[in-house]
């Protein structure tokens, strides 16, 4: 009976590990999608400006200014930024929904 118990415990450990791996994979995919969305937003805003390199870069969701593109890139890769960006993105969606509702009301 002891062998069956050990086998059951090993299977439970594998199941838990599989769940953690799936969560990590989902989180990585979500982070990658958010980065791509942010990159598109960042690129489109910088393309609309002139061809010259700006004096400073701004992260709107974190409300931070940077003196170089390298600093901005490092910031965008940070865990703190990614967390704020997720929250900011959700807030933007809520605001858009509210504005749409207001526009529909006579």
State how far the Cα of 80 lies from the Cα of 90, in Å rounded to an integer.
16
What's residue 36's pLDDT?
66
Secondary element (H or E) of residue 84? helix 79-104
pTM of structure: 0.48
What does DSSP say about strands 57-59 and 64-66: parallel, antiparallel, or unpaired? Answer: antiparallel
Residues 48-88 have pLDDT tens digits of 555 788 889 999 999 999 999 999 999 999 999 999 999 99
- More confident call, 7 vs 49: 7
Q: Whole-number mean pLDDT of the chain? A: 76
């Amino acid at each position: 009976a002891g062998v069956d118990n050990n086998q059951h415990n090993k299977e439970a450990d594998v199941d838990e590990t599989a769940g953690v791996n799936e969560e990590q994979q989902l989180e990585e995919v979500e982070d990658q999608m958010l980065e791509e969305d942010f990159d598109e937003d960042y690129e489109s805003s910088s393309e609309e400006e002139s061809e010259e390199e700006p004096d400073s870069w701004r992260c709107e969701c974190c409300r931070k200014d940077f003196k170089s593109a390298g600093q901005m890139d490092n910031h965008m890769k940070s865990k703190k930024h990614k967390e704020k960006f997720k929250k900011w993105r959700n807030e933007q969606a809520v605001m858009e929904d509210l504005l749409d509702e207001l526009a529909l009301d006579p």
